[in-house]
Chain A
């Protein structure tokens, strides 16, 4: 299954009056870590692009990451400008102007530097740095303050040390977790994404995002913002597209960051892991907004390191092309898509009015919103997980319901046919002057013991929960209202354990369907229908 980024840009509504496809990088001559196909503002000529690229670290000039159709606002990404203390570049300034002009209705753009101010200033001494508001007309500059790859590497290291403690006390664990600073970093990335999403959706202002080289924090922040803004990226396919676009095509250095080869240990950093965790934190906050589940994220993360698939090899599109990765390796996306049944979120609501387009993350109170992701960091430890997967259980219930509904449809069709046959027969009989008119159905036909009225009467009126039961729902919330209440019979033999909860060692993970056990609970003639069929 191929992910075609052209399709994705088309879905965003491009090219249009303001944005065009540029082939200026078609041989990677302008920037060797960028893709060959990029979208730039219509007013950005090749000259401007090339000039701007010379003024940007690694030649990574401002290019489009996400286009918000609703209000023509864009998120662009680049690397830091080589401004030093006082250098200027006309083409780069024109580039930013072009971006602003490409979003009509907005008289300024945000330039978001995701680094801490101190780091950005230090870069100036090396001839790099950040945009000076005085030089660039109509920009509002903003530091966000996400730490660099070395800090993140150490943070993960410390957190894993906490995870490896044998029998930590509560104090050890909480102190250790806080000292690692890991959740603080996750929050910083999410906050940045929220800022950008707000700028785009509420203020209608385009944003240019960069860090140092524009391939780590920039990628994280742009993809988080896109996720918040566009529900398409919250679907299975959309998420794959997002990673293909903002991480793979835009030259995130997979080989270096994830130690695919025996390289420089200082290049290693859990950058995409942090992004994946941000997605998980969002899933916990918005359980109905994502089409995929936690397992999807964990498997993707696993395969980024496994090197089993070619998507995450090499450091740039150029390298992949040279090594003919597409012809010589398999794509993870095809593999995941084939097994997508395992990755679905049973609570997903794809009704657009329900999924509220843009996700709004509450900003206060927020401290305890960030949970420790034991599903990721303790996933190989026995006895540490919730040993019952509500997701799997719900999926099983959903599948069974679907099967039952399909059977229902099939039976209804059969019934219709039989009714037609009956009708023809009685019509024939009435032509033979049969006096009494039945409801149209001959009782001499033994194949249906139930009359259709009974059947339709019972299937339409499902027993709804009586109001006095109130909120005694189990942890399982069946999403559709017209489901029969097929709560498992928890009072008798629990399907998974013999009733003894063993909190210290692992029990067999379940997933067996309890719903089939409670057939005794539904005395309606739904049962009877099956019996006669």
Chain B
């Protein structure tokens, strides 16, 4: 009976089954979304950043505590905090390694990964950039290094941290120290007392402190231990600190006003230091350095290759000398030759607390050497004398040795004689002399390879002071090629330059005409700056330095306010004298310097280009000298509005008759032009009509730039029209033009032909596509028919199936009914069976009782056997029918599923 009820349940709605399927899908989807969301990966574990063989200790797991521990073992420690992904850190790694390999015996180099978030360093320090370099001098620190990431600069800085103080033990060392262009602070300490003189440690610390503030380390700190040496700069009391200045009065640290602390000394020195010439070292990040410096006024930028580790810097010394001279404004008062740098005894800025010290100072020494000069009155036959009659001849003696002597060298009569001779011989180098001017020239002496002389000539009957004030001086740099290059091999110092002094012919006061103190006498005072061309050559290139040059030396005067810059001729070597002349030429009222126009050297003239590319250098030739109408486009590559017009100008250039028209363009970002040809907006289109080049016209800005407009603009302004009666020449012209027109038309026809053929092709292509589409359509229609047929048959089939289904369903129900009936029947049969059995039993009982009647026994037995057989047959039939029934139901069910 249970089997029947389960069978009936199978026939119940299929919805349940579908629900199960959905659930299965749901699970799958959950599974996939699970995969999508949650997969992440932690950052890779840190690995060695430096090689294991490197002298740098690499704490790549950021073990800052261990780093601190290491510090205790070494006097000087350099920490390199890096992030392994950081490009700057990677670039600096090599440089640090290079420094480490040179200094590892004295300095401990520790690199710390300060990025890994599990590391101590990341947890304790918060850097905004990498790498960060910190230095410690014993317990003092950290001193952050902020200079260029280049090994030589880093090494120099590390060395400064190692020995922040220079020991000045002798007079010559003192002179060396003081002659340096960088500001210097000196302390005098008597070391006879032990353990250390009072204040020394503070002074030492202030030297370290200054490295923190002034990472370029331009203030040098020195310590004098010898009483006699100290007296040279008038320091008598142990513990006094002295700031040396070249032009202004030197200062002594005011103990009574400011507390004697490391910070204060450092601050005082920074505030009062003299910056005659400054290094500019942009750090690469956003900075207003150049903005601030250049807005102070015109600036002379001098680019030289600089190695901070080099012992001597001859070129730098020479430039320094020019700078000193340029700023040396107290010259007129320096009556005595000795009073070179500290001569200003009456200066109001004089520090009253140490009056006697300065009185003494002023007489102590002279740093710069003196040339030997002589005034020569020119004889009448000398060609220069037509305009000038007095020359001052100065001999610059051997420069190989820095004069440590305090006194002026005496003039050697023979040398003067020799110089005079060669001066007369080289008379031809003076040319284009203009009266009322001073001419200066340098000559190499024929007699001594180590000396040269300078000649400055003028007319003596003029009042010299007048032209000092008017500054109408033109300095003609002689075109004579100095053999300075050759001489450089001999000695780095024997480079010709103007070395002029005021002290020799005091009554003439010729100092006003030269560089000395010029900065105070001109209203165009220059600020002087140095840039290391190894690091900042790009600025030189921007200002027009040649890219091809091997020697990276360059000088330019930049006047931001006037938006001009001047460039020192790069063909001339950068030496003191050329610099001096450069400065002088800038300073005078009617400056002969010409605004430098930077041009783009990468552009080469291409004949085959449809549009002519114009540069600064070719501008004049292409636009003004050509015999054509010129349409000139000012553009810049970066300007979106220019670049999108390219195709229009190309079309225009291809269209215009090339014999009469040039379409040209100039990239104004890379090419400067004279003011009158500059434009403030891009793109700008100018038209220069042939024969009226000076009457250029501008394409009006409120019209759209397209081909018809451009053609009309050109037609409107071009000079082709003439109303004069036709002459023979005109007829000739006409024919030429007509020929041009014919060829133009021929080109047009050619174009049209190709267009037609393109059209034909397109037509064919379309035709082909069309027929293919038609075929496709046909095919699709056929397919449609076929599909419809199929659809119909399928529908029929489905109807049939439905009918069968219904029928079967009906049958099934009937079957079920029959089954029920059968079941009932079988139950009845069973009952009957039992009844029969009872009957049989009772009969058997009766038979037994009737045993006594033996004659009737046999007939009774046969009857009961017959009955047994009929019952078993009935049960068997029933069983078979049931199985059949189940089969039908199952088939029914599955077919139902299928139709569904």
| A pairs with B | no
